[in-house]
């Protein structure tokens, strides 16, 4: 069964920060980042259980080409993948448990 992907409201800040950073370097790089996010989203609709639990209920998926991890939980009742954060893999993550 396919799942739908939903984003917690704060995830838009994570995405916009990364896009802004990559736009400063190269607009095409920012476009590639968005493309990789879309690919990950499509993958998660079909295979949300493919990744091990990292923290309690939280799973992580590394983006292709970029050093970011998508942190998500699976809502089996609603059949949703809930993305709670998109975190740079080499930076200390902020506390996103309250999201």
Question: What is the CATH code of the structural domain delimited by 4-88?
Answer: 3.30.2310.20
Tokens coding 69: 């991890």
Tokens coding 75: 């809502």
pLDDT at 13: 94
Entry pTM: 0.87
**What would the pLDDT profile of 14-39 be if each residue is shown by its tens digit?**
999 999 999 999 999 999 999 999 99
> What is the helix (H) or strand (E) element at residue 24, kind and residue range?
helix 11-25
């Amino acid at each position: 069964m396919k799942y739908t992907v939903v984003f917690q409201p704060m995830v838009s800040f994570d995405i916009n920060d990364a896009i802004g950073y990559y736009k400063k370097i190269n607009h095409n790089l920012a476009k590639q980042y968005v493309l990789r996010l879309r690919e990950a989203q499509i993958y998660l609709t079909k295979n949300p259980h493919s990744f091990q639990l990292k923290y309690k209920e939280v799973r992580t998926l590394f983006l292709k080409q970029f050093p970011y991890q998508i942190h998500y939980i699976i809502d089996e009742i609603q059949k949703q993948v809930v993305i709670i954060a998109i975190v740079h893999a080499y930076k200390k993550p902020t506390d996103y448990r309250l999201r």
